[in-house]
Amino acid sequence: MSHGSIFEEVSGALDIWSLGCIEVQMITGRLPWDTCDRDELRDKLLRGESPNILKDMSKLGKSFLKECFAIDPNKK
């Protein structure tokens, strides 16, 4: 679930969000927010939260994920 999908703002930016989720899963072996139920996830997204980005990730990797999880679709 992405921030945009809560508000029915389906666009290409949703694909970028999904790419970020896939990247997190590839790196960690876990889904982003895998400990949240649907309601908790919705609340986190409404507050503008994004998944935790690993501290030991490269600057480029962190920047990539921050852009993938940007709330503003124009910043993806």
Residue-range definition of the domain harbouring residue 8: 3-75
pLDDT tens for the 76 residues of the chain, in order: 665 566 656 677 788 989 999 999 999 899 888 889 989 988 988 888 888 888 889 999 999 999 998 888 787 7
Structure tokens at 55: 């501290």
Q: Which two tokens mark 71? A: 């709330």
Contacts of 73 (CB under 8 A, 6+ apart): 4, 9, 11, 13
What's the alpha-carbon Rg for the chain, to the nearest Å?
A: 12
Total domains present in the chain = 1
Element (H or E) spanning 65, and its range? Answer: helix 59-68
Coil vs helix vs strand at 53:
coil
| Domain CATH for 64 | 1.10.510.10
